[in-house]
Amino acid sequence: MARLSRISLTLLICALLAPGALAQEVPYKIGFVNTARVLKEAPQALRVEERLKAAFEPREAQLKEKRQEILSLEEQLKSDSTLSSTARRKIEREIRLKVSQLKFLEQEFREDQNLRRNEEIRELQQVISNVLKMQGDSGQFDLILTEGVSYVSDRIDITSQTIEMLKRLAESGEDAQ
């Protein structure tokens, strides 16, 4: 009698853990999207990179120019042996000042660039999220995973489909709002 109860309990647990098995439902459809790949290949991501490059290229050129000024002063200090000690100290002070200013400008540049990149990526992630929602709402998928997955078979990897959908949206001028 106790053995029959255990078998009944096991069957009941199996039935609860697999609700679709008893009702003969269609299995769940799961998809996976590699967001790192989407962030590299989607046209929206490429446009973000172009905008960032255009926005920060002038400041980057200014920083490069300031580095060159410092190198020129250092070269002058090394190569000109006729400099008086007063002139030499003056150039050394100028180099220290320019290096200090350059470090500040570089830090400010990196912070501004990171802030802007993060804003752009957040907006892009929202577009990607909307595309994934569209894919799910279309009835194609019951669950779409994006991060923290240890293994994904090619059967459920829908990254290419997602990128294609993003390309179509980019071509049509929409942003999956």
Average pLDDT along the chain, 177 residues, taken 10 residues at a time = 50 52 66 91 94 96 96 91 89 95 97 96 92 86 86 86 91 69
Predicted local confidence at residue 57, as pLDDT: 97
Residue 143's φ and ψ, nearest 5 degrees, are: -150, 130
Predicted local confidence at residue 63, as pLDDT: 97
25-172 — its CATH code? 3.30.910.20
Predicted local confidence at residue 172, as pLDDT: 86
Cα–Cα distance for residue pair 86/89, rounded to 1 Å: 5
Global pTM? 0.68
Predicted local confidence at residue 22, as pLDDT: 46
Predicted local confidence at residue 17, as pLDDT: 54
DSSP conformational letter for 157 = B
Name the residue ranges covered by the structural domains of the chain.
25-172
Predicted local confidence at residue 12, as pLDDT: 46
Cα–Cα distance for residue pair 134/28, rounded to 1 Å: 17
